[in-house]
Structure 1
Amino acid sequence: MPEFFHDKKLYYTPIEFALGHIGGTWKMPILWRLQNNVLRYGELKKDIPHITDKMLASQLRELENKGLIRRTVYPVVPSKVEYSITAKGMKTIPVIETIMKYGYGLIKEEGIAYPPKQDI
C-alpha cells in the first residue's frame, strides 16, 4: 500500500489512519455513549469511571478536532457544556459494534465469564 502524509504525519495504511481517529482505550467508549445521548462532561466521567479528568478532556478535544463529536457551550453561569456525536462520528458506530462483537467472541472462546460477577 502506498504511504501518505496528513497533518505532518506519515501513514502507511488506511487502517492506521482510521485508528488515529478512533483508536486507543477511550475514544470508542466515548463515541459509543454519545451515539444516542447528549452528555455533559460530568455525565461522561461518571459513566466511564476509570478515565482520568486529564484523559477525558484530552480525548474529547481530539474527537472534536477530528469532527467526530460536537462541543456546545451555553452562555450561562455556571457554564454548561454538552457533547454530542456528529454525522461523521455516527459512521464509526458500525465499526465499533463490529469490534465489540469480535471482542465478545474472543472472550467466549477463552472461557472468560463476562460480565464478571461482582463481589458483594
Structure 2
Amino acid sequence: MKNQTNDLDKVNMHEEMRRAFALLSGKWKLEILWLLNQRIHRFGELRRAIPGITQHMLTAQLRELEADGLVSRTVFAEVPPRVDYEITLKARGLGPTMDALTQWWQKYGATVPPKKSISQGRKAKAG
C-alpha cells in the first residue's frame, strides 16, 4: 500500500488541513467569523459582542482575518470615521461547517460542562 504523503503526484491532505487550521486558529477568530456570518458589524459592536476580548486583540485578529482574505474592512469618509467589517465570499464557504457545528452543539452542547466566566481583559495590578 502506498503512503499518500510520499506520493509526489498527490496532495498531502494532512499538511493542507494544517494550513486550514492555522488560518482559523486564534482564540477569537471563529467567534468573530460567526458574528460576521450573521451580518456586517462595526468594531465597537464586535467588541461588545465578545466578552473578554481586548481592543488590541480584536484589532490583531481582524487584521489577520483581513490579510487571509476572510474578512473585508470598509472605511467610510465620515466624521467620526466609520469602519464596517464583513465576511468575504471565501469565508462564506465555511457556512456548511458553521451549520454542522451548530447542529452538533444543539445535540451535544448540554453535555459539555460549563466553563468559568470569561474575564474582561487584564486586571489592574494592586498596589
The TM-score bracket by the shorter chain reads 0.7 to 0.9
5+ residue gaps in structure 1? 4-11
Q: Tell me the percent identity.
A: 35
What is aligned with 2:26? 24
Q: Which structure is larger by alpha-carbon Rg, 1 or 2?
A: 2
- 1:43-76, Cα deviation, whole Å (9 max, x unpaired): 0000002111111001100110111111000111
Whether 2:80 is the aligned partner of 1:78: answer yes
Change (3 A) 1:101 1:25: farther
RMSD of the alignment, in Å? 2.7
The within-5 A match list for 1:1-120 is 2=5, 13-103=15-105, 105-110=107-112, 112=113
Instruction: Point out 4+ residue stretches in structure 1 off by more than 6 angstroms.
Output: none
5+ residue gaps in structure 2? 7-13, 118-127
Question: How high is the TM-score relative to the length of structure 1?
Answer: 0.74
> Does the CA-based 8 Å contact 1:68-1:89 persist in structure 2?
yes
SS in 2 for 1:84: strand
Question: How high is the TM-score relative to the length of structure 2?
Answer: 0.70
Output the amino acid matched with 1:46. R
SS in 1 for 2:38: coil
Change (3 A) 1:52 1:69: same
